[in-house]
Amino acid sequence: MYCYCFYWNLILQVIKILNSVLFIDNDCLVNIFDDIYHADKNILDEVITYLSLQFDQIWVPRTVEHEFYLKHDDKKRKKIFASVLNTYRFVRRCPVKVSKAEIRQIVGNTEENAGETDALIQINKTKLSERFRINRVTFFSQDRGALNNAQTAGVQTLDYRTLSNVMRETGIVLP
């Protein structure tokens, strides 16, 4: 049994690019950490396990976190988010700081697309930072416009539909 576990861990290390980070957008945060959380925690574990095999960390931008709270029941979603942070240690708030002025400079005074903009600014700052040694940064969203903006900026993307299709192949249907 020990030999099997050792080789399995070795294979996973080869497959996963070291120091890889997934920046998650609000729509995916809602789908995974609210819809799936309430529907079936076993499916949530399967999705998180899959993502953990692909990425070392999942970073949630602050603006995305605030959008997550404000869309529906604040207290309930805050409890869910706190539970997710405590349960899955590789899911964390993004440590890169972005000011509201930086976001406003791109999106104006509107709150629409602020989360995606925050994530893209954080991705760019992460790439330029000497503090973070990240080999692969990926933006995870369901918003076609946000994914196109990220790809135009040279950022690798993961579409929620792609994740949904991969999970469906394993017998898990996502909302």
8 A C-beta contact, residue 52 and residue 84: no
The two three-digit tokens of residue 158, written as one number: 């993961």
Q: What is the mean pLDDT of residues 126-135?
A: 79
Show the DSSP H helices in the chain as ranges.
Answer: 2-15, 26-30, 37-39, 41-54, 62-71, 74-87, 100-107, 114-128, 144-152, 160-169
8 A C-beta contact, residue 16 and residue 136: no
Distance from C-alpha of 78 to C-alpha of 75, rounded to nearest angstrom: 5
Distance from C-alpha of 120 to C-alpha of 149, rounded to nearest angstrom: 9
Side-chain-facing half-sphere of 7: CA atoms under 13 Å: 3
| 12-169 placed in CATH 3.30.930.10 | no
pLDDT tier at 15, thresholds 50, 70, 90: very low
Beta-carbon contacts of residue 35 (< 8 Å; ≥ 6 apart): 175
Compute the residue count for the chain.
175
Q: Provide the residue ranges of all domains of the chain, joining segments of one domain with +.
A: 12-169
Q: What is the pTM of this model?
A: 0.80
- pLDDT, residue 85, reads 92
pLDDT tier at 14, thresholds 50, 70, 90: very low
The two three-digit tokens of residue 134, written as one number: 């990240």
Contacts 24+ apart (CB under 8 A), 108-117: 111/67, 113/145, 113/146, 114/63, 114/67, 115/25, 115/26, 115/61, 115/63, 115/64, 115/67, 116/25, 116/141, 116/143, 116/146, 116/149, 116/150, 117/63
pLDDT tier at 21, thresholds 50, 70, 90: very high
